[in-house]
Amino acid sequence: MEDAVRAVDLSKTYGTGLAAVKALDHVTLTIARGTVAALLGPSGSGKSTLIKALGFVSPADTGEVFFEGRLVVKHGVPLADLAALRRRHLGFVFQKANLTSFLTARENVEIACEFGGKSDGRRRARELLEYLDVAGREHSYPEMLSGGEQQRVAIARALANEPSLILADEPTAALDSVRSRSVMELFRKVAHDRGAAVLVVTHDHRALEVFDVLYEMEDGRIRPHRPERSGLTAEQ
Amino acid sequence: MNLALRDVRRHLARFVGTAAGLGLLLSVVVAMQGIYAGMVDDATILTRAMHADLWLVQRDTRGPFAEGSRLDPSVEARAAAVPGVRTARPYTYQLIQREHRGAVMRIALVGLGWPDDPGRSLPLVRGRRLQQPHGEMIVDASLGLGIGEPLVLAGEQYRVVGLTRNALTSGGDSVAFMTVGDAELVAFDQPPEAALLERQRVVERLRRTDLGRGQPALEDLATDPRWRAPALASPPVAAVLVEADPHRIAEVRGVMRSWGDVSVYSQAEEEELLLVGVVQRARMQIGLFTVILTLTAAVIIMMVMYNLTLEKTHDLAVLKLMGAPRLRLLGLVLQQAWLLGAMGYAVAFAMGELAFPMFPRRVLITETISLVAPVATMGIVTLASILGLTHVMRIDPSIALEG
């Protein structure tokens, strides 16, 4: 299966001298399209730093990131327009849904379509909300939605630009077990139906069976949590 | 999708409230500018309304507005005889304060040279010019008198026959116009007791002179109220206004400057005397206050814009993370600033229409103010957005990833 993203030998250190903390320590990771992967690990193990590096938000100090086979970041230096990459090829889902507060559910998805250069964003937004079973709330503002509904809208937004890679940072932290499982299954459905690569940072061990592969981070290093499955490799 | 309008729609009440507050602030700024313009206009309106080419006033004075000026009435005839002079008319000016219908009324009384000047150059809004040498007056509408309304001055009844608008002094007092004769009657009005005492003093002075002692009949004349001693001069006038052949103004002026008892000013010089002498300090004070107020408004708008942006930091970080083009986010802040400015100006304009006419001093919204104020408002809100725009540029999209 085609690689969505490949990180090679990423390292990042916060602070200097005695206060230096190594957040990423020679991390190498590949996620293929159509795969849903989990990234486990305790707080402070480097999960969020890795998500930021893979999401082209905050690059690692050293190492390389390839996106769909193209080298886009080398030793912290961007070789492409990272905002445009995020706009067109990446989707983000956060711990809190982080919907834009002054846009309705539909507009939150529609604006992502617009950023991604998709025509007919309104129709596409409606389709996605329907796909995620929140079509009835399209005119509601985020504060009027339940936590589960907000997260579904956030996933719809992440799917708006038909991303190659979806990065989800503890998306079920605010949800109960039923909704949590429902969201995880949605990711699996999205990965398998739409061919996106999905990387989910999670502490939630209740629904691990929905993932194709599990990764674990500790002290900035990454290792497989389970035996390798198709589409995902981890090298340390 | 217009993000600025979506945000406004979501927080409409707060946005409208902010715009209203901004509008009130802008209305104060515009009012100060209007008061400043009104003060300058008031200071010069009297001279402009007189349509004189030259003002003859008492030698070495800057009268009649900046200081008192007493000119012998014969100057009028002398001026009229100068080649190139079309008309010469006397002019008096005095401030009086009277009670009328239980209210105190301050009036700047201007005497017009009847019959040459029945008020033909006055900006009448109702009524007519003077048609009689006595008992009629034209007043400014700000006095609150109506056409035909009588006003008692110096024991005589004067009827209002015409109304002007914005005929005010530099001090904001309303102007009333009557013939020079009537104005002098009012100016030299004496209560009966004072008249008796004055006659008494004349008799006593006569008795101390050879003339009085040699001609006792003079005492009878001095005590007769109908008699006026031929040796006594007519009451002085404040100025003589000269209209001259446009091609010969300089020549006429040259002749009059050689007279020992007058100073000659052109219309522009008379206006300058008013501005520099009479209202200079007040003008500077209001000018400085206007500048400070404008700067204050700019700072307040800047902080409002900054706070509006600051509140959206997380939303903007999320949009940045999603790859929102930078211009879209900067546009959000700028468009809201412009909308706020436009709404604020509309509120200020409405306030001006409703409230400014009720101000005790005239608020003059000149064409310049009408044109500059909206442009300046938009300029100020644009500049005021700089902090907000800088904040947008600095927002780190990664904060959207933090719980």
Q: Does A234 have pLDDT greater than 90?
A: no
Domain-terminating residue out of B203, B234, B265: B234
Average pLDDT over residues A130-144: 86
Nearest in space to A204 (alpha carbons), one of A13, A41, A79: A41
User: In the 8-state DSSP scheme, what is residue B229?
Assistant: -
* Burial of A59 (C-beta count, 10 Å sphere; 0-12/13-18/19+): buried
Task: Give this complex's ipTM.
Answer: 0.75
Average pLDDT over residues B271-296: 80
pLDDT tier at B64, thresholds 50, 70, 90:
confident
- Nearest residue, CB atoms, B7 vs list A55, A87, A102: A102
* Chain B residues in contact with A107 (beta carbon < 8 A): 1, 6
A174 has a chain B CB within 8 A of its CB = no
- Nearest residue, CB atoms, A110 vs list B1, B9, B312: B1
pLDDT tier at A233, thresholds 50, 70, 90:
very low
Say whether A99 sits in a helix, a strand or coil.
coil
Q: What is the pLDDT of residues B142-200, one digit of tens each?
A: 888 889 998 888 788 899 999 998 788 877 788 899 998 888 888 777 677 777 787 77
Nearest in space to B52 (alpha carbons), one of B34, B42, B64, B60: B64
B367 assigned to some structural domain? yes
Cis? peptide before B115, omega within 30° of 0:
yes
B402 contacts A98? CB cut-off 8 A: no
> Are B103 and B124 within 8 A, CB to CB?
no
* Chain B residues in contact with A99 (beta carbon < 8 A): 318
A51 contacts B403? CB cut-off 8 A: no
B397 assigned to some structural domain? yes
Average pLDDT over residues B264-278: 82
CB count within 10 Å of CB B314 equals 16
- Nearest residue, CB atoms, B400 vs list A94, A112, A116: A94
Q: Are residues B293 and B357 in the same domain?
A: yes
**Which pLDDT score, from 0 to 100, does residue A231 have?**
44
Q: Are residues B286 and B397 in the same domain?
A: yes
Q: Are residues B296 and B356 in the same domain?
A: yes
B249 assigned to some structural domain? no
Task: Kindly give, in sequence order, each residue whose CB lies less than 8 Å from that of residue B177, ignoring residues fewer than 6 positions away.
Answer: B110, B111, B112, B119, B122, B130, B137, B138, B139, B164, B167
Kindly report the average pLDDT of chain A as a whole number: 84
**Total domain count for chain B?**
2
B156 assigned to some structural domain? no
CATH code reported for the domain at A3-235: 3.40.50.300
Give me the amino acid identity at A33.
Answer: R
Residue B189 CA: distances (Å) to CA of B112, B194, B196: 18, 10, 13
A85 contacts B323? CB cut-off 8 A: yes
B137 assigned to some structural domain? no
CB count within 10 Å of CB A120 equals 11
Task: Kindly give, in sequence order, each residue whose CB lies less than 8 Å from that of residue B388, ignoring residues fewer than 6 positions away.
Answer: B305, B306, B308, B309, B310, B333, B337
Q: Are residues B286 and B222 in the same domain?
A: no
A85 contacts B324? CB cut-off 8 A: no
Q: What CA–CA distance (Å, rounded) separates B177 from B142?
A: 14
CB count within 10 Å of CB B295 equals 12
Angle, in degrees to the nearest 10, between helices B12-50 and B3-10: 100
Q: Please give the residue range of the domain that contains residue B367.
A: 3-43+281-401
Cis? peptide before B64, omega within 30° of 0:
yes
- Nearest residue, CB atoms, A100 vs list B318, B326, B396: B318
By residue count, chain B amounts to 403
Please list, residue by residue across A170-207, b when 16 or more beta carbons sit within 10 angstroms of its beta carbon and e when fewer do.
Answer: bbbbbbeeebbbbbbebbbebbeebbbbbbbbbebeeb
A92 contacts B402? CB cut-off 8 A: no
A92 has a chain B CB within 8 A of its CB = yes
B355 assigned to some structural domain? yes
Q: What are phi and psi of B281, to 5 degrees?
A: -65, -45
Q: What is the pLDDT of residues B320-354, one digit of tens each?
A: 888 888 888 899 889 988 998 899 989 988 988 88
Q: Does A1 have pLDDT greater than 70?
A: no
What are the structural domain ranges in chain A? 3-235
Domain-terminating residue out of B176, B210, B234: B234
* Chain B residues in contact with A86 (beta carbon < 8 A): 321-323
Domain-terminating residue out of B217, B234, B251: B234
B371 assigned to some structural domain? yes
Q: What CA–CA distance (Å, rounded) separates B183 from B137?
A: 10
Task: Kindly give, in sequence order, each residue whose CB lies less than 8 Å from that of residue B280, ignoring residues fewer than 6 positions away.
Answer: none
Q: Are residues B310 and B381 in the same domain?
A: yes
